[in-house]
A and B are shown apart, each in its own frame.
Chain A
Amino acid sequence: MPYQIIVCGGLAPDPLQTLEPVSSPAGPALKNEMMLPAVFDPWAGHALYEAAHLAKQHPGSSIKVVSLAPKAKLQQVMMTIAQKLPFELVPLDGPGGGFTDAASIAAVLADAIAAIPGLDKSQVLLFGGWESATRGAGTVMQMVGEKLGITEQFLAVDELTIDADGALVIKERVEGGQHQVSRCTAPPAVLAWATGNLSEPANHPQTGMANMRAMMPALQKAKPASLTSALTFADVSLPAVTRQTRIVKDVPAAEIAREIAEWIKQ
């Protein structure tokens, strides 16, 4: 059967960048936030690649990416992501970042999804990352699911297969390096992905061009999201650096091994 796969994914600062908190009239923010290069949030990225894989196996399936971020940044990031697989973008213009209120973000995303024309809940698989690289809360997907009335939900998913009866067989990460395996008879379902099993698809410029033809007008028309926040921050800071690295050089391996063995036994 075809699936309507909806992938929720925001943006995050490139993890190789140095981040520094500053205070702004609207609460905590990142220094030079708008200047920092952004990436598609990594776990949401895994969800997107898994969506592409599933859509390919089930003809007639569609992929829509619902993303709330500053419009200009979203456009930049889409220049790359759009080259990876065919999808439609449902952009929402608004602040990204770690200090936004997940509850409000979830409400805005749910409204945007509910308003997608032709949405057939019996075919919906709601995908996203299990945590963002910004808030790192792991709460948005469950809240979006609830607001849409989807009560079959899975968190930290590494694998989805469809069995002969059309049921979803899902592996979720649980404690102790194990996977819990569940069988859900049919959509709709929420799958918040961990790393999955697929590597990042290569860029395909033709796909990018085809995607961008629809994305550019959508980005231009993107509505500003009306977000609220019930959060009051007392303080945001970088962890104090307390480590002075002792560098041990030009010492025979046997001596290093002795030192490590002692340390391990302590």
Chain B
Amino acid sequence: MEKILVLLHTAADGGLPPAALETLGVAQSLGAAWDLAVLGANAAAAAQSISSGAGKTLAVEGDAFSQSRYSTDAAAAAALIQASGAQIVLAPGTMRFNRALPGVAARLNGAADTHIVAVDPSLNVHRWFYRQRMEGTLTRSTRPWVLLIEPGSNPAATTAAGAPAELLSVPVETRTQVTGFQSPAADQQTIRPGASLLFVAGAGWTKKQKDGATHTGEAGEIILGFVQKTQSSLGSSKSLVDLSGEGQAVLPFLTHLHQVGQTGSTPRHRKGLATCCHGEEPHVVGWRFINERRAINLDPACGWSRGKADVLYVADAFEVMRALAPLL
């Protein structure tokens, strides 16, 4: 098999993110010779900490490369790929590398494929199409070929320290400065990638209920109370976040970042509970990587009833969630 380059980046704290070790695990499972390259803050030390088994070990570090930014990441990655000479590059599909590596592939007259969940030694790669509605296995003749491995889809490698990294010096040319990060207020931090449960709130929470009135205030309390108690991740449907965007008095803590589905996210959690959400296909494609699914909906014929959930509770979500709160 062709030699592989395992191309990784460090996180802001200089450590390797879990997705990096998962990518290394995929590379090791292929049984080919592999080089290791790391870019970012503290890259050389991070590379050496896992370089046992690698051919060449390479790194690019320094202030300019500690920021996640296209121009500098692309320059560093291109230099690392060229220094290795490997034509097959395995890299974690983090936002940082999803941004940088497709362009690097183009710069080197190669190609990149993303969201890869499995690779075999003949370089057949498995990925999803049409927003997780179809799965396909393919290979490609283009070289260099950058394969971005979907985080969370493979076990992490067992690693050991090895040879020190050779540091490459890469010229910095950029017009961009990363000035900071914005996250929701601490009590509204509702996206928890590591949580085992995804809780989805649909537009039903804002609709007129049995008594002919809306109860959005109580809905907000129920939802946030549940999410905080269970430390689950909070998702939503497009209808509900669109309502919020249109300035209606809805659930102010929901934004497009919470949207799950066709034009939202496809989070990975072990379990998912959908409430007041109809379970329409454009929403449910975002549930592809939720293993155990349950839904609470008043409508026995809603989308969830047709093989999209394991259990559908035909019930009033207000009543069930009120009864659930003291049990948690």
B-facing mask of A157-196, CB < 8 A → 1, else 0? 0100000000001011111111111111110001000111
Measured as residues with beta carbon below 8 angstroms from the partner, the interface class of chain A is 35 or more
Query: Contact at B176–A42, with CB atoms within 8 Å?
Result: no
Most buried by B among A142, A169, A249: A142
Interface residues of B, CB < 8 Å — how many?
100
The segment out of B1-9, B155-163, B213-221, B256-264 that lies at the interface is: B256-264
Residues A236 and B134 in contact, CB atoms below 8 Å apart:
yes
Question: Which one of A142, A152, A158, A237 contacts B175 once the chains associate, using CB atoms below 8 Å?
Answer: A152
Bound form: Cα–Cα A106–B264 in Å: 24
Select one of A106, A133, A151, A178 contacting B181, CB under 8 A: A178
The CA of A235 and the CA of B311, in the complex, are separated in Å by 31
Q: How far is the CA of A222 from the CA of B288 in the complex (A)?
A: 38
Interface residues of chain B: helix, strand, loop or mixed (majority): mixed
Whether B71 pairs with A151 at a CB distance below 8 angstroms is yes
Does A152 lie within 8 Å of B174, measured CB to CB? yes
Are B115 and A182 touching (Cβ within 8 A)? no
- B107 to A245, Cβ gap below 8 A? no
**What residues of B have a CB within 8 angstroms of the CB of A21 in the complex?**
134, 136
Q: Are A134 and B129 in contact (CB under 8 A)?
A: yes
Contact of B281 with A16 in the complex, beta carbons under 8 Å: yes
Q: Is the Cβ of A182 less than 8 Å from the Cβ of B69? A: yes
Return the 5 tightest CB-CB contacts between A and B, nearest first: A177-B191, A139-B102, A257-B323, A142-B103, A253-B319
Enumerate chain A interface residues (CB-CB to B < 8 A): 13, 15-16, 19, 21, 28, 42-43, 46, 98-99, 101-103, 106, 133-140, 142-143, 145-147, 151-156, 158, 169, 171-186, 190, 194-199, 230-239, 241, 243-251, 253-254, 256-258, 260-261, 263-264
Q: Assuming A142-B99, A197-B256, A245-B307, what are 8 further A-B pairs, CB within 8 angstroms?
A: A42-B263, A99-B129, A136-B130, A181-B180, A182-B176, A243-B310, A247-B300, A264-B197
